[in-house]
């Protein structure tokens, strides 16, 4: 089954053709990063406009790269939640139009389910059940993936998502957008231990996360230094932030493995592009005799290939939509 997938939940206009949930026939990503960088973050109104301008071109390229015509497709999939509502609607409306014109099934896909499914593209042998860490710009969860379409969230952030904290700390440190990747680059030239940052405590749960205190501590150090007219070693503060943030994620995954006894561990979401996090998760899982599955860098950030992978399993489980399909800014991963 060959599915054309469309993703437009944030600042990437993306389309891909995926065969049977596992094989990438094409994967086109048009990033708007350069334009949003001028404003220090994603401007939702600009994102929607650019999606509308680019979507035809991106879908055309995905079909061309796959060597297919639209008529040869078996279904159209689209990210319908969660994300920037105006941005999502561009993809959803386009997908509806295409599905109606071609008379093909329309498959709505949850964005975070897509991030998890990125691993199906990279690891043909990977099948649920498994334990999954999702760390993106908007979400930080530990999820029991019981089947391809059944999810139970066992931990979540109480405040900022990891990626959001990376982006806010990066901005305070004066790094340009996108913050996470630029903070990682700066940290390579810094020294861990020069600054002290707290590990935030979360009441009532061993596994839930909190990242806003960590981000605020970075901002406070910068403000105090400014008041005293002291220089900040931004690289070392970045290195300390990255060290603590990635330690929190790997520590919680370790606890979750011990609590659940999970054998297979999966990581997903944009923050998984971070080298220190990748190393730490690998070490944690190896230390406990577990196998870690983490997407290659090209599938960590937003893309449509991951949406096409998940769409196949949604379709097999009986999920499809009609022309009343809407987009939703928020939606729990376990909702059907």
Contact footprint for ligand KG4 (CB under 6 A):
10, 115, 136-138, 163-164, 166-167, 178-181, 184, 269-271, 273-274, 301-302
What is the Cα–Cα distance from 150 to 129, expressed in whole angstroms? Answer: 9
Q: Which is nearer to Zn ion, 12 or 243 (CB)?
A: 12
Instruction: Classify strands 140-147 and 291-293 as parallel, antiparallel or unpaired.
Output: unpaired
| 3-state percent helix, strand, coil for the chain, nearest multiple of 5 | 45, 20, 35
Going 245 to 250 to 254 to 257, the CA torsion angle's sign is positive
Select from 68-76, 100-108, 130-138, 168-176 the region that touches Zn ion (CB under 5 A): 130-138
Pick from ligand KG4, Zn ion, none: which does 138 bind, CB < 5 to 8 A by kind?
ligand KG4
Q: Which is nearer to ligand KG4, 104 or 139 (CB)?
A: 139
Q: What are phi and psi of 175, to 5 degrees?
A: -85, 150
Select from 34-42, 58-66, 240-248, 302-310 the region that touches Zn ion (CB under 5 A): 302-310
What is the Cα–Cα distance from 4 to 232, expressed in whole angstroms? Answer: 49
Minimum Å gap between C-beta 203 and Zn ion is: 29
Q: Which is nearer to ligand KG4, 38 or 64 (CB)?
A: 38
3-state class (DSSP) for residue 314 = helix
Q: Which is nearer to ligand KG4, 29 or 106 (CB)?
A: 29
In the chain, DSSP assigns E strands to: 2-7, 12-19, 23-31, 75-81, 106-110, 130-135, 140-147, 150-156, 264-268, 291-293
Q: Does 302 bind Zn ion (CB under 5 A)?
A: yes
Residue closest to Zn ion, measured at CB: 302
What is the Cα–Cα distance from 288 to 75, expressed in whole angstroms? Answer: 41
Minimum Å gap between C-beta 21 and ligand KG4 is: 20
Q: Which is nearer to ligand KG4, 78 or 98 (CB)?
A: 78
Q: Which residues bind Zn ion (CB under 5 A)?
A: 136, 302
């Amino acid at each position: 089954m060959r599915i054309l997938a469309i993703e437009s939940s944030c600042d990437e206009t993306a389309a891909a053709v995926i065969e049977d949930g596992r094989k990438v026939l094409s994967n086109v990503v048009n990033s708007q990063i350069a334009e949003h960088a001028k404003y220090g973050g994603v401007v939702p109104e600009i994102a929607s406009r650019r999606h509308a301008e680019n979507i035809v071109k991106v879908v055309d390229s995905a079909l061309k790269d796959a060597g297919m015509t639209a008529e040869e497709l078996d279904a159209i999939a689209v990210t319908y939640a969660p994300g920037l509502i105006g941005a999502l609607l561009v993809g959803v409306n386009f997908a509806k139009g295409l599905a109606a014109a071609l008379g093909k099934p329309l498959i709505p896909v949850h964005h975070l389910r897509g991030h998890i499914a990125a691993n199906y593209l990279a690891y043909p042998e990977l099948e649920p059940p498994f334990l999954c860490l999702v760390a993106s710009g908007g979400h930080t969860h530990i999820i029991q993936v019981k089947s391809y379409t059944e999810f139970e969230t066992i931990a979540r952030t109480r405040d900022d998502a990891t990626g959001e904290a990376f982006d806010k700390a990066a901005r305070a440190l004066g790094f340009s957008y996108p913050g996470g990747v630029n903070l990682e680059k700066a940290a390579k030239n810094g020294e861990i231990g020069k600054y002290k940052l707290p590990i935030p405590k979360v009441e009532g749960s061993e596994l839930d996360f909190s990242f806003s205190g960590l981000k605020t501590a970075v901002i406070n150090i910068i403000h105090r230094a400014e008041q005293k007219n002291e220089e900040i070693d931004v690289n070392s503060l970045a290195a300390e932030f990255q060290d603590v943030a990635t330690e929190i994620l790997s520590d919680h995954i370790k606890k979750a493995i011990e609590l659940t006894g999970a054998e297979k561990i999966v990581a997903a979401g944009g923050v998984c592009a971070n080298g220190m996090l990748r190393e730490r998760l690998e070490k944690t899982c190896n230390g406990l005799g577990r196998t870690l599955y983490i997407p290659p860098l090209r599938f960590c950030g937003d893309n449509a290939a991951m949406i096409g992978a998940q769409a196949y399993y949604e379709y097999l489980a009986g999920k499809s939509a009609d022309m009343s399909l809407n987009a939703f800014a928020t939606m729990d991963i376990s909702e059907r």
